[in-house]
Chains A and B, each alone.
Chain A
């Protein structure tokens, strides 16, 4: 039986550049970095342009990252043409949400989209102790640094693999 190839099954379709849905999504990458990606539909963009004539086009794109626990806000000026941005943060183990908006020429910030909230991973031994559990300290001194990395990838990554598979 004829088995259709990928082109036949894809029927000429490719991935769209946009979905016509306004959204800002925040993903935690590691204790010190998050990724925000977004889509702003032309309709929404237009709405703001009309609301802030002139000021809007002269303004610049910005992401405001709010640390929910400390209420501190970090500003990230971003390229007007970008649709995603890596956000570097200092403190691990925090809860964040992002706002995508425009910094207007008069210095005010207009929020267009608000993201989901995420928690960043931890990068150190917790200072929170549970009094119900006796702490056995002997193992702790070894782990002050992250101990990861002995993965299959580490084992094989010094050699080119032509067809070894994804292990």
Chain B
């Protein structure tokens, strides 16, 4: 049977730069450690098994530069080791505590095994080089790693200073190339946020494709012939792929989505909240604030607080069923669409990587099962990466996608509203000053050059879309406000010192140690865009 169409699963892995050597315990660093244990490592293990079993899978994953930088950061690796060892200790206690309980004992054993495996995989198998592990997998040709903006800046709202957007993209491409061994073919625009002319900057950096939400394509001008079933070619010659609504809904929707199935593990019930403080105390916040530990023994059960115990075998059965259902739906969808249009359609299904494993515990196993089934059980469609689809050589319609994002209501309002709009006057001023500094100090060297590079780092870190996002969603707001504020005031103070030629070296060293991302960053990338060719030439020479 001839393949009728293609299916492209894209995961976006990202966390903001949360690195706090000043605290022995940090809620935010725990985001990273949980995502490592529950998402990134299980995903790597699943992909490795698929590779070993010669399954013809295709996965595209964007690894945000802040996340990659945290993976490779020695300080955070040390803290992750500490975190895992502490949880392994708790796992031992849990195994003992539940030894006589036929329902909970297998679960405690399961967590012990999972944590041990996370520890061994991260520190022994991959030698704390997760980027290297992904790079190695990608060499097999079935995994495509793409990049994202340097600190996940919300590009449409930074576009007031095109140089700032260029710097976000340039820095991302540079880090990606260094960590993953080749320049990225595609990019995940942070929050899938696109605005007119961003494609010109992507084209300049050699990026072939990006992804937008459904309406980014559907509202393209001129009207797209195929909807989201084929990418468009933007005015500057970059391909834009659109999110498929049907496959998104099946996984994302809180009412219809798989992750809400009653057999799956409940995220909220956790022994960190359930067990007495004198037992759980050493494994939660040192001040006794109860936190998630990852030991979760109940299933979603239903819209009730009376949760029933989680059953691994039952969940396994359910995820296999869901993988089959997802595949069946794609078969029918692709078969139908292929009959309507004159080319093999592509169905693009993008998700946050952290949904898989962290929120939806069974997610990585579902993904693995889905790819096995796609390979063995059907012939209607093949999995593909966006790059591979482009190399099929189908002519692409030229059209300009609509400005859009995948946030609530589809545009920029999550990142621009009464809760966070104060931020932009500072971000834009800093970007303007940065760009001017690149003009004023093109030949900077020594301490001055180091200060200018740090200035660029502070600007990038202040621009993370996570800060305005958190200000809108209302959880951990203070942390987000402080993060944006702190990077901006450090920027302002350093800027003044540079222009007054009074750089406080001791303070600069502290900033370099704390906000230590992108060691290769050269502030000259902020030169006004008409000058960037010259800058590029000088960087390359």
Consensus secondary structure, chain A interface? loop
CB <8 Å contact, B225 and A134: yes
Question: A115-156 interface mask toward B, CB cutoff 8 Å, 1 = contact, 0 = none?
Answer: 010011111111111100111101110110011111111111
Of the stretches A20-28, A55-63, A66-74, A98-106, the one at the interface is A20-28
**Residue A125 contacts which of B218, B486, B513 (CB distance < 8 angstroms)?**
B218
CB <8 Å contact, A27 and B160: yes
Chain B CB within 8 A of A109 CB:
no
Chain A: interface residue count, which band? 35 or more
CB distance from A24 to the nearest CB of B (A): 11
Chain B CB within 8 A of A47 CB:
no
**Residue A147 contacts which of B226, B245, B355 (CB distance < 8 angstroms)?**
B245
CB distance from B511 to the nearest CB of A (A): 6
- Chain A contacts of B340 at CB under 8 A? 136, 138-139
Bound Cα distance from A142 to B228, whole angstroms: 12
CB <8 Å contact, B218 and A9: no
Given the known interface contacts A4-B514, A164-B475, the answer about A9 and B16 at a Cβ–Cβ threshold of 8 Å is: no
Given the known interface contacts A8-B510, A148-B213, the answer about A166 and B429 at a Cβ–Cβ threshold of 8 Å is: no
Identity of the chain A residue whose Cβ is nearest the Cβ of B402 in the assembled complex: A122
CB <8 Å contact, B493 and A134: no
- Chain B contacts of A27 at CB under 8 A? 157, 160, 412, 416, 424
CB <8 Å contact, B416 and A125: no
CB <8 Å contact, A28 and B355: no
**Residue B223 contacts which of A119, A125, A162 (CB distance < 8 angstroms)?**
A125
CB <8 Å contact, A146 and B291: no
A:1-18 near B, CB below 8 Å = 3-6, 8-11, 13-16
CB <8 Å contact, B22 and A167: no
Identity of the chain A residue whose Cβ is nearest the Cβ of B483 in the assembled complex: A6
**Residue B470 contacts which of A133, A150, A166 (CB distance < 8 angstroms)?**
A166
Chain B: interface residue count, which band? 35 or more
Of the stretches B94-102, B124-132, B251-259, the one at the interface is B251-259
- Chain B contacts of A163 at CB under 8 A? 27, 30-31, 291-292, 476
- Chain A contacts of B480 at CB under 8 A? 166
CB <8 Å contact, A16 and B355: no
Identity of the chain B residue whose Cβ is nearest the Cβ of A26 in the assembled complex: B160
CB <8 Å contact, B254 and A167: no
Given the known interface contacts A15-B489, A166-B16, A167-B359, the answer about A152 and B160 at a Cβ–Cβ threshold of 8 Å is: no
Given the known interface contacts A4-B510, A162-B475, the answer about A148 and B225 at a Cβ–Cβ threshold of 8 Å is: no
Q: Beyond A28-B403, A125-B219, A153-B407, list 15 extra A-B contacts (CB 8 Å).
A: A9-B511, A15-B492, A21-B429, A30-B412, A130-B397, A130-B398, A134-B225, A136-B341, A148-B214, A150-B245, A150-B252, A153-B414, A153-B473, A158-B254, A164-B359
Q: 8 closest Cβ contacts across the A-B interface?
A: A148-B410, A30-B411, A165-B31, A139-B227, A121-B403, A3-B21, A150-B252, A122-B219
